[in-house]
Structure 1
Amino acid sequence: MASQPVHSDSDDGMDEFMDRFTTQRYKKGFSETNWEEEFNKVPMFMKTAPEEIDPQSYPELACLQSIIHDEDRPPEEQATSLKDEGNAFFKEKSYQKAVASYTAGLKKKCGDRELNAVLLTNRAAAHFYLGNMRSALNDAAAAKKMKPDHLKALMRGVQCCVELRNFSEAVKWCDEGLAAHPADAKLRELRAAADKHNRAAERDARKAKVQEKKLRGEKEALLAAITDRGIKLLQPAKSRRHGSGSEDEDEPASAAIAQLSLDGLSSREVTGSQVFLDERGSLHWPVLFLYPEHQQSDFISAFCENNCFLDHLAVMFEELPTWDTDRKYSIQNLQLYFEDEEKEKLYEVDPEAPLLKTLQRKRFFVKAGTPNFIVLVNGSLFCKQFLSGKKIHKL
């Protein structure tokens, strides 16, 4: 009797499956449009690692990561895997991710000092390229403390100190490195450059100190000259307290003059000029002339205290200004005043008197480092209207 063929369970439906396989298109295969995207999901062919690893989208990568970070393995193995991961990110210039991997490796707190020193040094390098110089220097210092002769840590420390312009500290790092590696050419080169920068920085610091001392001396001499002349500076930051009501010009100043300081000489910020003391001991002030009738002004950057007002007015009005359409601002018609804002009073100025005499008057306060004066045409309609109702102190 002929034997019958025996079919195992594994053969059930195989013929049917093969028929379908040869006649139907595989729906989950790579297509011309998605093959690059699909290849990039395979760890071996990935060009860049994803920001977040979703097991559904990247099952193979999630599996590898679970193997790498297997918490059941010894801390040394886990730290080594994280170090390698950080190195891979570093090569891709993904420095933030590299820092995260090295940090995770350090958190394993393995007992291998050599490995921990490498993790710190590598993290220092990643911080360095991110521009985090302080963090990089801290990591290099920690690695050096853990392994004093670690060449890469020593070099990274030098580079960080140079970037932070702490050249004297860079020299110290080089000396420590050369003590352990006396023949290292790169360290010698770094030390020579750091020492050169350090000597230049020290020279610049000495020059700055001398210049600062000189400027301080000039300022003290300037303030002493102003004080000796009895000139009062109105401090811009100080509040003023009102006077007792007396209108006598010889009354002691009631404005908040306080201690004389350079706060009252702030005109350079506004006008570009400031009072100065010349080699003969004379003060030169920036002075502002105001013409309220026409809303115009004139500025003299250096009015010598010994010159009278007419010296400048003669030059200023040698030709009548274009805004003087009525042709009335001739030098013989001009009247000068200064204003005491605290007492709301105008004081007439003698145009033939030197500037110093006016600045020394009891109720004159130099505001913002620039004396200013009001110029009016004597007898004009505007002059009468402007002075109407104001308290005037005549000469």
Structure 2
Amino acid sequence: MMASSDAQHDSDDGMDAFMDKFKTQRYKNALSEDNWEEEFDKVPMFMKTAPEEFDGISHPELSCLQAIIHDEDRTPEEKAVSLKDEGNYFFKEKNYKKAVMAYTGGITQKCEDQELHTVLLTNRAAAHFHLGNIRSALNDATAARKIKPDHLKAIIRGAQCCMKLRSFAEAIQWCDEGLKVHPRDNKLLELRVTADKHKRAAERDVRKAKAKDKKLWVEKEKLLAAIQDRGIKLLQPVKPRKRSSDSEDEGEGSSEAISQLSLDGLSSREVTGAQVFMDEQGSLHWPVFFLYPEHQQSDFISAFCENSCFIDHLVTMFGEEFPPWDTDRKYHPKNLLLYFEDEQTETLYQVNTEMSLLKVLQHKRYFVQAGTPSFIILVNGSGFWKKFVTGKKMIGL
């Protein structure tokens, strides 16, 4: 008995010594205050979120848990429920892509529980909706209603999808059908009011747009009629002019030009925003280009009244000071010659600067390109002028 007592005493002394040592030394593999949450999150049982990259090899423990969830021995209904719960978890975490995958997995189980199948479709519609896949969300909501026509969440989601797609009449239809079975549902009532408001606004916008288009069309027809009555010929810039003979018959080229009287033919070829218009007195105002080929420069007049003379604009532009590119100080109104070129006949027509714009535009060989008349300005007697006119047929107006 004494030996046994001594052995027990030695054992107690050893335990006391071990406990004293345990108190004074830290466990090397223990979790620290700084990393215990991070380490816990690595354990599948305690994970708050699933790993972004999960291949079944880097997380074998998680693979085991997944195998339990998707055990082939379980019924389709049990698998679908597990996948639904998994999808709900991802949805709460706002990981909508994984939620869609989970719900899709549950749907593919094709379980006989129609209520469960409806929930899976509705939940997947919600996940698609948050991902911006509105058409897919609407398809799922529609499929859910085919199984259970009075399913409230499916009806609400379908109406919301139609709102997003700006199909307001269809959204109202979803709400009306839902209110037949859920007449006091506040969400459906609110959606119905909002959809109707947007539908009315959209219809009003359509009416305004049609009225505006009609007004523009009337103005366009009036403008084109005024241009045609004046005998002014328009050409589309996208269609190259056909090579013609040197004949200056009044009708030559006119039929093609008149047939192209359209809004496109009135658009400025430059990004100027200017276009011919008619004032209250019935006069036309044209955007006009003056080209200075000697210096590769140009001037743009946004509203040249058809009744104004060229000399009036030339005096305004060159009467008081010379442009900075005219280093030789040659561009004075009295030195300038004005031309338009008939590219079809390779003929230069010299314009009397005392003539009005209308008089020139009515010339039988003048064709307005892209709604913007253009004219060439040269210095009389200059070396460039002599070179420019060499080899070209010259006709004065």
Query: Residues 394, 58 of structure 1: CA spacing in aligned structure 2 closer, same or farther, 3 A cutoff?
Result: same
Deviations 1:115-174 (A, max 9, x none): 111111101110111111111111112112221111111111122222222222222211
Corresponding residue for residue 223 of structure 2: 222
Map 1:16-27 to 2 at 5 A.
Answer: none
Corresponding residue for residue 344 of structure 2: 342
Corresponding residue for residue 366 of structure 2: 364
1:343 match: secondary structure: coil
Shift of residue 56, structure 1, vs aligned partner: 4.4
Once residues 57 and 286 of structure 2 are traced to their aligned partners in structure 1, the CA distance between those partners, rounded to angstroms, is: 80
2:271 match: secondary structure: helix
Equivalent pair of 1:241/1:255 in contact (CA under 8 Å): no
Once residues 57 and 63 of structure 1 are traced to their aligned partners in structure 2, the CA distance between those partners, rounded to angstroms, is: 12
* Residue type at the aligned position of 1:343: T
Map 1:77-96 to 2 at 5 A.
Answer: 77-96=78-97
Once residues 114 and 160 of structure 2 are traced to their aligned partners in structure 1, the CA distance between those partners, rounded to angstroms, is: 23
Deviations 1:177-212 (A, max 9, x none): 111111112221221122112211111111111111
2:299 match: secondary structure: strand
Shift of residue 42, structure 1, vs aligned partner: 2.0
Deviations 1:201-260 (A, max 9, x none): 11111111111111111112222222222222221221332113x254757128964532
* Residue type at the aligned position of 1:331: P
2:344 match: secondary structure: coil
TM-score by length of 1: 0.86
Once residues 268 and 251 of structure 1 are traced to their aligned partners in structure 2, the CA distance between those partners, rounded to angstroms, is: 26
Q: Which runs of 5+ in 2 are unaligned?
A: 1-20
Equivalent pair of 1:242/1:255 in contact (CA under 8 Å): no
Corresponding residue for residue 195 of structure 1: 196
Equivalent pair of 2:234/2:261 in contact (CA under 8 Å): yes
Once residues 86 and 259 of structure 1 are traced to their aligned partners in structure 2, the CA distance between those partners, rounded to angstroms, is: 62
Shift of residue 58, structure 1, vs aligned partner: 2.6
| 1:48 is the counterpart of 2:28 | no
Once residues 344 and 69 of structure 1 are traced to their aligned partners in structure 2, the CA distance between those partners, rounded to angstroms, is: 84
Equivalent pair of 1:121/1:140 in contact (CA under 8 Å): yes
* Residue type at the aligned position of 1:389: G
Map 1:1-395 to 2 at 5 A.
Answer: 38-244=39-245, 246=246, 248=248, 250=250, 252-253=252-253, 257=257, 258-267=259-268, 270-323=271-324, 324-395=326-397
Once residues 366 and 28 of structure 1 are traced to their aligned partners in structure 2, the CA distance between those partners, rounded to angstroms, is: 92
* Residue type at the aligned position of 2:346: E
Once residues 55 and 37 of structure 2 are traced to their aligned partners in structure 1, the CA distance between those partners, rounded to angstroms, is: 19
Once residues 335 and 175 of structure 2 are traced to their aligned partners in structure 1, the CA distance between those partners, rounded to angstroms, is: 78
Shift of residue 373, structure 1, vs aligned partner: 0.6
Once residues 79 and 335 of structure 1 are traced to their aligned partners in structure 2, the CA distance between those partners, rounded to angstroms, is: 88
Once residues 230 and 386 of structure 1 are traced to their aligned partners in structure 2, the CA distance between those partners, rounded to angstroms, is: 30
Once residues 55 and 341 of structure 2 are traced to their aligned partners in structure 1, the CA distance between those partners, rounded to angstroms, is: 78
* Residue type at the aligned position of 1:107: T
Equivalent pair of 1:267/1:369 in contact (CA under 8 Å): yes
Query: Residues 193, 330 of structure 1: CA spacing in aligned structure 2 closer, same or farther, 3 A cutoff?
Result: same
Once residues 62 and 127 of structure 1 are traced to their aligned partners in structure 2, the CA distance between those partners, rounded to angstroms, is: 27
Q: Which runs of 5+ in 1 are unaligned?
A: 1-21
Query: Residues 279, 254 of structure 1: CA spacing in aligned structure 2 closer, same or farther, 3 A cutoff?
Result: closer
Query: Residues 340, 28 of structure 1: CA spacing in aligned structure 2 closer, same or farther, 3 A cutoff?
Result: farther
Corresponding residue for residue 8 of structure 2: none
Query: Residues 55, 382 of structure 1: CA spacing in aligned structure 2 closer, same or farther, 3 A cutoff?
Result: closer
Once residues 250 and 221 of structure 2 are traced to their aligned partners in structure 1, the CA distance between those partners, rounded to angstroms, is: 28
1:70 match: secondary structure: coil
Once residues 203 and 71 of structure 2 are traced to their aligned partners in structure 1, the CA distance between those partners, rounded to angstroms, is: 54
Shift of residue 277, structure 1, vs aligned partner: 2.0
Shifted more, 358-367 versus 90-99: the winner is 358-367
Equivalent pair of 2:70/2:79 in contact (CA under 8 Å): yes
Shift of residue 38, structure 1, vs aligned partner: 4.6
Corresponding residue for residue 7 of structure 2: none
Identity rate, percent: 68
Shifted more, 28-37 versus 92-101: the winner is 28-37
Once residues 206 and 254 of structure 2 are traced to their aligned partners in structure 1, the CA distance between those partners, rounded to angstroms, is: 44
Query: Residues 254, 315 of structure 1: CA spacing in aligned structure 2 closer, same or farther, 3 A cutoff?
Result: same
Once residues 271 and 344 of structure 1 are traced to their aligned partners in structure 2, the CA distance between those partners, rounded to angstroms, is: 28
Once residues 109 and 261 of structure 2 are traced to their aligned partners in structure 1, the CA distance between those partners, rounded to angstroms, is: 64
Deviations 1:336-384 (A, max 9, x none): 1001223222111122222112112222111121101111222333322
Query: Residues 338, 56 of structure 1: CA spacing in aligned structure 2 closer, same or farther, 3 A cutoff?
Result: closer
2:322 match: secondary structure: coil
Shift of residue 264, structure 1, vs aligned partner: 1.9
Equivalent pair of 2:122/2:144 in contact (CA under 8 Å): yes
Q: CA RMSD in A?
A: 2.7
Equivalent pair of 2:275/2:286 in contact (CA under 8 Å): yes
Query: Residues 239, 254 of structure 1: CA spacing in aligned structure 2 closer, same or farther, 3 A cutoff?
Result: farther
Query: Residues 134, 56 of structure 1: CA spacing in aligned structure 2 closer, same or farther, 3 A cutoff?
Result: closer
1:271 match: secondary structure: coil
